C-alpha cells in the first residue's frame, strides 16, 4: 500500500500515456479480427481493471493482442455466431485458470534471456516499421497489426513503399513534429530541469498533435479524414452505451467448434502471456519477478469476464507494457488506472478522444520502438559473443518475418544449438605431453559427446600412454561408456597403455572396464 501512494504520481502519468496508446490498438485489433469495435475496448478495459488488479506483475499491461488476431478472426468465422465465439473466450479463461492451478507457468522460466532480448528488439523494429505509414497519414492497414503479411496482401515493406506514394501532408507534419518534440523533450529538456521529468512527453506530444490538427484544419482543405483520427464508437445515452455489450449464448455449449476454438485461444494466449511477462520483467527497472502461475490465473479470470460481457481474448501485451515502462510506471496501479481511463473515456468523452490524430500516436510508438531496439543493445549482445548474438539476431529476424510465437520457438532452437555446442567443448578436455595423453571427463557426459570423444581417442598415436579420468563425472551416458570400453579393448593393437581413474563412491563407473586407481601410473594427469 505504501508503494502505491509513494509512486502514485509516476503511475498516473504513465497510465494516461498507456491509455492513449491502447485506445487505437484496441479498436484496430477488433477491426483486424472481424469483431465489433466495442469488443476490443471491452477487452482493454477488463485487461486493465480486472487483470491489472489480480496480476502479480508490476509493469505488464494486458488487453487484446495482435498475436491473437488471426486466431480470433478464424474462430469467429468457424463458430456459428459471435455469441458462440464469446463462449469460446469464456472456455479459454477457464482452461487458463486450470493452467494456473496446475503450475504450468514455469514454462516461461526456460526461455533464454538472449531470446527474450531478441523478442523485445524485434517488437521495437516492428513498431517502427508498422507505424511509419501511420506517421505520414497512410492508414490502409489497421492500427495494431504486427503480421508481416497484412490484410491487404501487402507485407511490412511494400506497405511502407505504398505509404510514401500516398502521403497526407498534414498527417506527416503532425507525425514528424510530434516525433521531434518527443526526442527533444527526452534528450534535452529532461536534462535541463526536473519539472520536465514530471510531465510525460507522450502526453504533451498528443496534445500538440490535436492542436496542430485543429489549427491547420480551420477553414483549410488540409484537414485529416475521419479514419486518420481515433474513431471511438459513441453512445447518445446510457441505454445505448449498455447496448454495446454482447453476452455469450450458452446454447452453443454442445458445438465442438466452440470448444476447439476455446482450447486454441487458451494455449496460444497462455504462451504469449508467459513470453510477454518474461519480457516485461526484463524491462522492469527494478528487475522484479512476476509469479507466473498467478499471472495465468489472472489472465484466466480476465478472459472469463471478457467473454461474459462481449470482449475479445486477453493476454499480456508487450507493446503496452513497454510503453508503460518507458512512461515511468513503478507499480501495477498504472495498468489498473489505464483500464479505468478507457472505461471513463468510452462512456463519457469519446468526442474529445476522436480529435487525436493517429500520426501523433504513431510518433509515440515509433520512439518506444527505438528504445526497445536501441543500437547499444546490439553492441552489448555482440560483445557477449556469438553464442549470445546468434540466437538474439535469429529471434529478431524470425519474429519480423513470421510472428511472435514462431519467432521465439526458432530462437530457442538456435539457442539450444549453441548450448549443445558448448556442451561438446566443455564436457571433456584432452591434454598431452609427448606420448602421454590425459582425457578428463567433466560433470555430465551425454551421448551427444560420443562422436567427438570417439574421434579424439582414435587419434592417439602408437606406443602412447593414455589416462582416462572419469572420477569427477556425475553422469556418463551408456554410449560414452561403450566408446571407452571399445577403445580399451583394441588399444593394445597399437601398443597403447590405458589407465582409467574412477571414483569408488560413484556406482555409475562400474561399467567401465580395465579400471585402476594406481596413482603412480598417473604421474602425467596434471
pLDDT for the residue numbered 525: 36
| CA distances to 278, 372, 386, 389 from 378, in Å | 19, 11, 12, 8
- Yes or no: domain 427-522 corresponds to CATH 3.20.20.140: no
Q: How large a percentage of the chain has pLDDT more than 90? A: 63
Whether the predicted pLDDT of 26 surpasses 90: yes
Are the C-beta atoms of residues 32 and 144 closer than 8 Å to each other? yes
Quick one: pLDDT band at residue 145, thresholds 50, 70, 90?
confident
* Average pLDDT score over the chain: 89
Among candidates 314, 316, 312, which has minimal Cα distance to 86?
Answer: 312
Task: Give dist(CA 140, CA 131) in Å, integer.
Answer: 12
Among candidates 311, 313, 309, 307, which has minimal Cα distance to 87?
Answer: 307
Taking CB atoms within 8 Å and a gap of at least 24, the contacts of 444-447 are 444/473, 444/474, 444/475, 445/473, 445/475, 445/476, 445/477, 445/480, 446/475, 446/477, 446/480, 447/477, 447/478, 447/479, 447/480
Task: Give dist(CA 298, CA 368) in Å, integer.
Answer: 27
Whether the predicted pLDDT of 18 surpasses 50: yes
Domain boundaries, the chain: 2-365, 389-424, 427-522
CA torsion 95-97-103-105 (nearest 10°) is: 90
- Report the b/e string of 471-491 with b at 16+ CB within 10 A: bebeebbebbbebbeebbeeb
pLDDT for the residue numbered 407: 93
pLDDT for the residue numbered 126: 94
Are the C-beta atoms of residues 283 and 325 closer than 8 Å to each other? yes
pLDDT for the residue numbered 509: 59
Mean pLDDT, residues 399-422: 88
Beta strands per DSSP E along 168-261:
none
Task: Give dist(CA 515, CA 508) in Å, integer.
Answer: 13
181-211 confidence digits (pLDDT tens): 999 998 899 888 888 887 888 989 999 999 9
pLDDT for the residue numbered 516: 41
Q: Residue holding cell 486454441?
A: 264
274-319 confidence digits (pLDDT tens): 999 999 999 998 889 999 999 999 999 999 999 999 999 999 999 9
Whether the predicted pLDDT of 217 surpasses 80: no
Element (H, E) at 305: helix 292-309
Query: Which range among 88-102, 365-379, 410-424 shows the weakest confidence by mean pLDDT?
Result: 410-424
Beta strands per DSSP E along 283-356:
315-316
Element (H, E) at 445: strand 444-445
CA 58 to chain centre: 16
Are the C-beta atoms of residues 212 and 177 closer than 8 Å to each other? yes
Mean pLDDT, residues 67-89: 93
Are the C-beta atoms of residues 315 and 65 closer than 8 Å to each other? yes
What are the DSSP calls for 459-493, one per residue?
TPPTT-EEEEE-TT-SEE-HHHHHHHHHHHHHGGG
pLDDT for the residue numbered 519: 37
pLDDT for the residue numbered 524: 34
Quick one: pLDDT band at residue 507, thresholds 50, 70, 90?
low
CA torsion 312-318-319-321 (nearest 10°) is: 100
pLDDT for the residue numbered 449: 81
Enumerate residues 6+ apart whose C-beta is below 8 A from 525: 438, 440, 467, 469, 501
Task: Give dist(CA 26, CA 520) in Å, integer.
Answer: 76
Whether the predicted pLDDT of 232 surpasses 50: yes
Whether the predicted pLDDT of 223 surpasses 80: no
Amino acid at each position: 500500500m505504501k508503494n502505491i501512494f509513494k509512486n502514485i504520481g509516476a503511475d498516473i502519468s504513465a497510465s494516461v500515456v498507456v491509455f492513449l496508446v491502447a485506445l487505437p490498438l484496441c479498436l484496430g485489433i477488433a477491426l483486424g479480427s472481424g469483431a465489433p469495435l466495442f469488443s476490443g475496448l471491452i477487452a482493454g478495459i477488463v485487461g486493465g481493471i480486472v487483470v491489472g488488479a489480480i496480476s502479480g506483475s508490476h509493469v505488464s499491461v494486458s488487453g487484446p493482442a495482435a498475436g491473437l488476431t488471426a486466431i480470433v478472426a478464424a474462430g469467429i468465422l468457424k463458430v456459428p455466431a459471435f455469441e458462440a465465439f464469446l463462449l469460446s473466450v469464456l472456455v479459454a479463461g477457464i482452461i487458463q485458470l486450470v493452467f494456473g492451478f496446475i503450475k504450468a507457468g514455469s514454462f516461461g522460466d526456460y526461455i533464454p534471456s538472449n531470446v527474450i532480448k531478441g523478442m523485445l528488439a524485434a517488437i521495437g523494429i516492428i513498431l517502427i516499421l508498422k507505424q511509419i505509414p501511420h506517421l505520414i497519414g497512410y492508414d490502409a492497414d489497421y492500427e495494431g497489426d504486427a503480421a508481416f503479411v497484412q490484410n491487404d496482401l501487402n507485407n511490412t515493406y511494400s506497405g511502407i513503399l505504398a505509404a510514401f506514394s500516398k502521403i497526407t501532408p498534414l498527417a506527416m507534419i503532425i507525425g514528424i513534429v510530434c516525433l521531434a518534440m518527443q526526442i527533444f523533450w527526452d534528450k534535452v529538456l529532461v536534462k535541463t530541469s526536473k519539472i520536465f521529468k514530471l510531465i510525460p512527453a507522450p502526453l504533451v506530444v498528443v496534445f500538440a498533435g490535436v492542436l496542430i490538427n485543429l489549427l491547420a484544419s480551420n477553414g483549410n482543405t488540409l484537414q485529416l479524414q475521419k479514419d486518420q483520427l481515433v474513431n471511438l464508437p459513441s453512445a447518445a445515452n446510457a441505454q445505448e452505451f449498455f447496448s454495446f455489450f454482447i453476452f455469450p449464448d450458452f446454447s452453443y455449449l454442445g458445438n465442438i467448434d466452440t470448444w476447439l476454438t476455446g482450447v486454441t485461444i487458451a494455449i496460444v494466449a497462455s504462451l504469449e502471456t508467459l513470453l510477454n511477462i518474461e519480457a516485461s520483467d526484463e524491462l522492469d527497472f527494478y528487475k522484479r519477478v512476476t509469479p507466473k502461475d498467478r499471472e495465468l490465473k489472472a489472465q484466466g479470470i480476465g478472459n472469463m469476464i471478457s467473454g461474459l460481457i462481449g470482449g475479445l481474448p486477453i493476454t499480456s501485451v508487450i507493446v503496452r507494457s513497454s510503453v508503460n515502462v518507458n512512461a515511468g510506471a513503478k507499480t501495477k496501479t498504472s495498468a489498473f488506472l489505464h483500464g479505468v481511463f478507457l472505461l471513463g473515456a468510452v462512456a463519457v468523452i469519446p468526442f474529445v478522444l476522436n480529435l487525436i490524430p493517429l500520426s501523433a500516436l504513431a510518433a509515440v510508438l515509433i520512439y518506444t520502438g527505438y528504445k526497445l531496439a536501441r543500437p547499444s543493445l546490439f553492441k552489448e549482445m555482440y560483445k557477449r559473443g556469438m553464442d549470445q548474438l546468434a540466437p538474439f539476431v535469429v529471434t529478431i529476424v524470425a519474429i519480423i518475418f513470421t510472428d511472435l510465437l514462431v519467432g521465439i520457438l526458432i530462437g530457442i532452437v538456435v539457442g539450444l544449438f549453441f548450448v549443445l555446442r558448448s556442451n561438446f567443448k566443455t564436457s571433456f578436455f584432452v591434454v598431452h605431453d609427448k606420448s602421454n595423453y590425459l582425457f578428463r571427463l567433466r560433470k555430465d557426459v551425454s551421448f551427444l559427446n560420443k562422436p567427438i570423444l570417439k574421434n579424439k581417442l582414435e587419434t592417439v598415436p602408437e606406443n602412447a600412454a593414455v589416462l582416462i579420468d572419469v572420477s569427477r563425472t556425475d553422469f556418463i551416458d551408456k554410449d560414452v561408456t561403450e566408446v571407452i570400453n571399445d577403445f580399451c579393448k583394441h588399444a593394445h593393437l597399437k601398443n597403447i597403455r590405458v589407465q582409467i581413474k574412477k571414483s569408488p563412491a560413484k556406482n555409475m563407473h562400474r561399467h567401465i572396464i580395465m579400471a585402476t586407481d594406481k596413482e603412480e601410473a598417473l604421474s602425467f594427469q596434471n
